[in-house]
Amino acid sequence: MTTRQYKVHTQPVQAQLGRAAAQTFAANERMNQIIIEYLDPGAWNAKPPGKVRSIAAIFTHMHNARCKWVRLTAPHLKVPRQLDRAHCTRQQARAGLAESAARCAEMLAEALDGGGGRVEKFRRDGWARPWPVGVEMLCYMLSHEAHHRGQVCMLAHQLGFPLPNMVTAGIWNWEKLWKECGSPGGPGYDS
């Protein structure tokens, strides 16, 4: 009978989780930056049919929601300034999203590293019941962002400004995204 040998992690799982959550959120942000970078300038403020947010308003909402999460969950971190959806440029959105992503990554690392940091509850909104910190926090944040990225890709297409295939396929290349975010080993590997 053969006995399997399993690799034993020397670092606590919680510390790995905090670092992985921060790296995952950085890869998530890289997707947003790629979309804005390759989005046709005419699509940014184009008026969609019906009562739908413009692409500019969607990205500013994403940034402003992150600011709220940081303000309510980790007020000891520097909360980025909110963006004005009516006047926000692509450059302002890219800079704002980069800053709010960095704060969210810090918040996630602190919340999930198991070191008993100052982040004890995830407060996604003032009306919502706080959650204990855990992977659910990361999942909620990523789901929110993915939902709005899907809206942006669909709206760009409907408005006659489809994103290039290299973008829509590129946001699924996690190995490349992670490397671009400073994690050369890719998902699942300590860097």
Mind listing the pLDDT tens digit for each residue in 27-58?
999 999 999 999 999 999 999 988 999 999 99
Alpha helices, H only, 74-188: 90-112, 135-158, 165-170, 174-180
pLDDT of residue 69 exceeding 60, the answer is yes
- Portion of the chain with pLDDT greater than 90, in percent: 74
Contact 69, 131 (CB under 8 A): no
Task: State residue 121 phi and psi, 5-degree precision.
Answer: -135, 145
Where is 122: in which H helix or E strand? strand 121-122
3-state DSSP assignment of residue 93: helix
Q: What is the mean pLDDT of residues 65-91?
A: 96
Q: What's the length of the chain?
A: 191
> What is the rounded distance in angstroms from the CA atom of residue 97 to the CA atom of residue 95?
6
Topology of domain 13-41+52-177, CATH: Four Helix Bundle (Hemerythrin (Met), subunit A) (1.20.120)
